Each structure stands twice: as structure tokens, then as C-alpha cells.
Structure 1
Amino acid sequence: MKGNDVEPMVFGAVLLAASMHAGWNVVVKVGLDRFSSIVLLALFSALICLVLLPFFPLPAAASWPWLLASAMVHVVYKLTLVRAYEHGDLSQVYPLARGTAPLVVALVSAGFLGEAMTGAKLLSILLIGGGVCLMSLRGGAVGRMPPKAFVFALATAGCTASYTLLDGVGARLSGSASGFIILLSIFDGLFTCAYAVSRRGLRMLVQLAPAWRMGFAAGAMSLASYWIAIWAFTKAPIALVAALRETSVLFAVLFAVFFLKERVGAGRIAAAVAIAAGVILMRL
């Protein structure tokens, strides 16, 4: 592809991934206790990938350090996300956790990865990131965002930026985006389950069995969403893909309003307009 253009297929695929990412967050918010939900998600993502592993080439050895580091960051990401949801609304936590990450990714990509960024592309990233943050800081059904939810949401954003950069570089070194995401998901599942067992014992995995349908749905959406993102990292600048993924907040707010009955005021409508403007500018 040429320059910083996001081809129509990549653009549409990342938007689809954004909707699935918001979908699995809704499942985590309304399912079992948050920790159990996230463990179940990681477990089923790993199981699906174990079935798929023989059909895809393994990633190149050069990408493995990036892959293993990313898998560990993904575990921390899940834990901070769970804690954030314990203290705040979906429509509060999710936008802040996602919205600040593209700004960090854009700066690091330009400064250390040599990705050129035009004024229009930078403005689109700022509109999306700023709109996402505004949507969160306007408060939710319980009013202003609780301090603990704010802190854990920012920690989640830091993890998001970190694994996005690790995966962007790793996927490009892997020679196989599919092999990279499959192996990443397997290690992520192993690390997450190991942590869960250390906290709650082996009985926890047995107790999760009755909720396997929810786990499969969330795991499949999570895997499909990030599989698309990993592929997109090899086709477009990492910063642009990272920003476009954060349109998932629009889907998250819609889900929060229609399924979780959370309130949305004028401030969040204005934030949604800013995000939409950023997406349109990026496409143009």
C-alpha cells in the first residue's frame, strides 16, 4: 500500500474488529464475576487457537521475544480492566481505557519506529483519542467517574499502548500474522490460567465449566477482533490502525445504552461526533 493510506478492505475490517472488541467487553461486564469472565475468555481463545495451530505456519524466531512480552502485558491488561469494571460503568471505563492509547502509540511510532505522519492523519488520531477521553470523563450513570475506576482505566490504557506496539513490531517480523496471533493467544491463555490457578486453585477451572457458552462467545469475539488487528498492523501504519480500533467506543456506548441501560448525555454525543469526524478524516 502507499504511504499512510488505509485501504478500504483494511479500513472496513478494523471497524468490524472494533465492534467485536466492544462486544466481548459487554460479555465481561454482565457475565460471571469479572475475574472469572476474563479467565474464561482467555482460556477459550487459547483452546480455539490450539485447534487452529496445525493449519498455520509458526511465526519467525525474530518475533518470539515480542510475542512473549506481549502475552505477559495482555495478562496485566486483563487484570487492570477487571479492576476498572469493578469500580466504574462500561461507558465510563471502556472509552478512557481505549482512548488514550492511540495517542501514545502515535508518538512512539513516529519517534522510534520511523512511521511518517501527515498533519491530517495526526489530527484524525487526536480527534479519535480526544473524543474517546471526553466520552469517559463526562461521567456515567453513577455520575462523575470514581477515582479508582479512573486509575485502573489509565493503567489499562498503558497496557493497551504497550501491547499494540509490541504486537505491531512482532507481527511485521513474524512472516505470518496468523501464526503470530495464534501463538500469542495460546501463551496469553496459559499465562492467564496459571495466574488464576495461583489465586483460586484448580477448582476455579472446574467451576467455570457451566459458563462455557459465554466463554466461547467472548473468546471467539476477542480472538477474531485482535486477529484482524494483527493482520492490519502488517498492512498499515500501527498508529492509524490503533486509532481506528478505538472507534469500538462508539459500539460500546451503544451496547451500554441499549443493553445495560446506562445513560448518555449531550457530552457523550459531542464526543461521538469528534470520534466520527476523526474516522472520516482518516479515511479521506
Structure 2
Amino acid sequence: MNELGAWLVSISGTPEGARLATALALISALAHAIFGAMQKGRYDPWLTRGAIDAWLCVLSAPVALFVVPWPDLTTGLILVGAIIVHFAYKVTIALAYERAAYTVVYPVIRGTGPLVTVIAAALFFGEYFTVMQWTGVACLSGGILLLAVRNISEEVIDPRTLKLGLLWALVGGILVAIYTTYDAYGIRQTPNPFTFLAWFFFVTAIDFPLLATWRYRRAQYQPVLGPLVWRGFVGAIIAWISFGGVLMATRLDKVGEAAVLRETSVVFAALIGWFIMGEKVGPRRLILICLVALGAVIVEVGG
């Protein structure tokens, strides 16, 4: 793993690294769409996330403790910050899912995230997009947010509850940008990127299993744990692919481009809903999905 990590560091910033980063970002997008579909409405979002994080701890601990090098002081301090940022993100997302439908909340989070991330990448990493790339970002984020507007029109819940859900989703999108930028800084400061990845998944997943256990014990209705545990295991594997893929992409190439490409998860999510879950897409949604895909292509070609 040390040799693989050294090779990845050696191709960072090269055309080969850029091609690999693009592939990892798109794989991450597909995995994230599957991850989102798994969380869609069957269980309390706090319990679902707790089950996923519990398995992330179990699966990541042996790698962190016995395979990769232990983090140095700098990496350790960065990981402490990552715990705080990701805990805030997970709480925000759970609050949003409690108050509004997944199909409304998810596009707002994913549409806000890349736009803010591109701005943050310019400020902290000196990355600058061309006019064509900004056009692509506008197409992608605009298409995703318009999907949320389209889905809001079908909501029948209390307007105040919907507004709270949208507010939490907007905060969640900003936190996506914050953790994407922060994690990109962290993995770039660690000599072996796999050290950061393994310890990141281990330490940032400790909090929610404890919180979920507390909520489960206090709940009036306690769901059967077997299916929830299985869902958590599958979700943890997908999380490794999704979050690990985009983190490695930000190590290999531009943070902003990786963030934008990852948000094509909305396209994959729609395709999963259409072809696998039997959901109706309709012409308006199809046009907006195509706009999102077009935006990602423009960002990639415009660079």
C-alpha cells in the first residue's frame, strides 16, 4: 500500500493523474447515487447513518491500526477538525431528511455544494475556472436546483416544515463545500494518502453510532435491527468507494473539477430510479437531468 500511495502521489498534477481523477470522481458519483437510494425513506435517517458509521468503524479500524502508518501530529490535528466538520454535516442532513422529502432535500444539497466548492478552491488552492467551465457549473448546479424546485411542487407537507427542511438542506450544501475543501487539504498534507483515508473513515464514524444508539433506546417504535444492520454494512462499503474516490480525486487533480463531476450523482440517481425502481421521470425532469450532464461535460472539456 505504501508503494501504491507513492505512485499516486507521483502522478498528482499530471495528465495521467487528471484522467484517473476523472474516473474516480465519476465512480464516486455512481456510488453516491446508490448510497442515496439506500437511505430513501425506510428508516429514521439518524439510525441509518448510525448503522453505516458503525460498520465504517469496524471495517476501517484494522486498516488504520495495523496496515497504514499512524498519522503524524499535523495529520492528527487535521483529523480532529474533520470529525467536527463531518459531525455537523451529518446532523444537518438528518435534520433536513426529517422535515422534507429526499427528492427535495438531495438536489438542494448537491446543487449548492459544487458551486461553493469551486469558489472555495479558488480561494484556498489557487484554482481558477475558465468562462466555459463556469458556464458548465451554472448548467450543473442550476439543473440540480431546478430539479428541487420541480419536486417541491409535488410536496403536500406543511409549508413551514418544508421551509425548515430546505433551510437545513442549504446549510448541508454549504457544509459539503466546506468538508470537500477541508478534506482535500488534509489528504494533500499527508505523505501517504491511504493513511489519511483509513484514519478519516475510522475517526469520523465514531460519533453517530453512539448518537443512533441513544435515539434507538428512546424511540417509541424500535425497528427490527437485522435489516438495518445489513443496510449499514452495504452502505459502509459504498461510502468507502464514494467518499474515498472523490477524496483521492482531489489529491490527484483540481478540487473544483472533482466536486463538480461528483454531483453527476443526480443523473445516476435518476437513472437508478427510472430503470431499477420504476419511478416516472417525465420530460421536464429528463431535460433537467440532461442539463446537469451537459454541465459536467462542459466543465471537463472547458479545462
State the TM-score, normalized to the length of structure 1.
Answer: 0.88
Q: Find the counterpart in structure 2 of residue 28 from structure 1.
A: 39
Does 2:141 correspond to 1:129? yes
Structure 2: segments with no counterpart, 5+ residues: 1-11
* 1:219 counterpart (219, 223, 236): 236
Pairwise CA distance, 1:13: 1.8
Q: 1:132 to 1:144 in 2, by over 3 A?
A: farther
Does 2:97 correspond to 1:85? yes
Does 2:92 correspond to 1:65? no
CA contact (8 A) 1:106 1:239 kept: yes
Does 2:186 correspond to 1:175? no
Structure 1 residue matching 2:40: 3-state secondary structure? helix
Q: What amino acid is the match of 2:166?
A: F
Pairwise CA distance, 1:49: 0.5
Equivalent-residue separation in structure 2 for 1:236 and 1:116 (angstroms): 13
| Per-residue Cα deviation, 1:242-271 (whole angstroms, up to 9, x for no partner) | 111111111222333455555434332222
Does 2:243 correspond to 1:231? no
Tell me the percent identity.
24
Equivalent-residue separation in structure 1 for 2:97 and 2:275 (angstroms): 18
Give the greater-gyration-radius structure (CA). Answer: 2
Structure 1: segments with no counterpart, 5+ residues: none
* 1:244 counterpart (261, 266, 273): 261
Q: What amino acid is the match of 1:21?
A: H
Does 2:14 correspond to 1:8? no
Q: Find the counterpart in structure 1 of residue 3 from structure 2.
A: none
Pairwise CA distance, 1:173: 0.4
Bigger shift: residues 206-215 or 70-79 = 206-215
Q: 1:71 to 1:256 in 2, by over 3 A?
A: farther
Equivalent-residue separation in structure 1 for 2:156 and 2:146 (angstroms): 12
Q: Find the counterpart in structure 2 of residue 268 from structure 1.
A: 285
Q: Find the counterpart in structure 2 of residue 46 from structure 1.
A: 57
Equivalent-residue separation in structure 1 for 2:198 and 2:153 (angstroms): 38
State the TM-score, normalized to the length of structure 2.
Answer: 0.83
Equivalent-residue separation in structure 1 for 2:289 and 2:227 (angstroms): 38
Equivalent-residue separation in structure 1 for 2:14 and 2:63 (angstroms): 33
CA contact (8 A) 1:97 1:156 kept: yes
CA contact (8 A) 1:58 1:176 kept: no
Bigger shift: residues 145-154 or 274-283 = 145-154
Structure 2 residue matching 1:142: 3-state secondary structure? coil
CA contact (8 A) 1:102 1:239 kept: yes
Pairwise CA distance, 1:76: 2.2
Q: What amino acid is the match of 2:24?
A: A
Q: Find the counterpart in structure 2 of residue 74 from structure 1.
A: 86
Pairwise CA distance, 1:4: 9.3
Structure 2 residue matching 1:117: 3-state secondary structure? coil
Pairwise CA distance, 1:124: 2.1
| Per-residue Cα deviation, 1:92-133 (whole angstroms, up to 9, x for no partner) | 221111111111111121123312322222222222212111
Q: What amino acid is the match of 2:261?
A: L
Aligned residue pairs total 284
